Chain A
Amino acid sequence: NAGVTQTPKFRVLKTGQSMTLLCAQDMNHEYMYWYRQDPGMGLRLIHYSVGEGTTAKGEVPDGYNVSRLKKQNFLLGLESAAPSQTSVYFCASSYRGSLGFYFGQGTRLTVV
């Protein structure tokens, strides 16, 4: 049972490049989330999804897009990367928002 898996684990982008982060969960969870973690800031919600085909904005959505085409996958896209998006990105899933969240191992993204 893999839980929540994120790919890639590390990535370096040049300003203006685009990329997609993939999150996959095998727990049949309804809800999935993307957070970013910056030093001294804790975890901040970027976007979330309460089910296949639905997405919604979180606290810091600007510069990101998401898609949930399949229940087990939640994709985070950066269309035109900026240095301010240098961060560690975590995906999480939960059973309808309850019983705790399960986090992936994170993706460390550097934008130069």
Chain B
Amino acid sequence: GQQLNQSPQSMFIQEGEDVSMNCTSSSIFNTWLWYKQDPGEGPVLLIALYKAGELTSNGRLTAQFGITRKDSFLNISASIPSDVGIYFCAGQNYGGSQGNLIFGKGTKLSVKP
């Protein structure tokens, strides 16, 4: 089945630094999504990308849908302690009856004040 490779697995950064993480796939997706999961909580949608080449921002977060439709990246600028958590990418294809998300394994972000 489809699989996503998300990297890095974990990051330890200083408050104020920028962060970059990415996802690649061996197959194409129609939609890329980025989620954040806080400890003890469910994933929360950060950004959704619907078009190849699309660049979308949400505050300090910027994500791009790769031209080949097989990759996406997420950047966080000027990180703050509340950015700590696990970030998941997810790819989705419509057309089938389920519209299921395929998730990456996550990037665990730690921010040192």
Contact = CB atoms under 8 A, between A and B. Distances in A.
Interface in A2-17: 4
> Which of A59, A96, A97, A98 has the most B CB atoms < 10 Å from its CB?
A97
B98 A48 contact: yes
B85 interface: no
Interface residues of A, number: 28
Contact of A101 (B45, B97, B104, B106): B45
A58 interface: yes
A106 B40 contact: yes
B46 to A, nearest CB: 10
B85 to A, nearest CB: 14
A97 B94 contact: yes
A45 interface: yes
A8 to B, nearest CB: 14
Contact of B42 (A41, A48, A90, A99): A90
Contact of A99 (B48, B103, B106): B48
Interface in B82-113: 88, 92, 94, 97-101, 103-106
Interface of B: 1, 6, 31, 33, 40-45, 48, 88, 92, 94, 97-101, 103-106
Given A48-B98, A103-B42, 7 more contacts: A31-B98, A43-B88, A56-B97, A56-B98, A100-B45, A105-B40, A106-B42
28 contacts: A41-B105, A42-B88, A42-B103, A42-B105, A42-B106, A48-B98, A48-B100, A50-B97, A56-B97, A58-B100, A90-B42, A90-B43, A97-B92, A97-B98, A97-B99, A98-B94, A98-B99, A100-B33, A100-B48, A101-B45, A102-B45, A103-B44, A104-B42, A105-B40, A105-B41, A105-B42, A106-B40, A106-B42
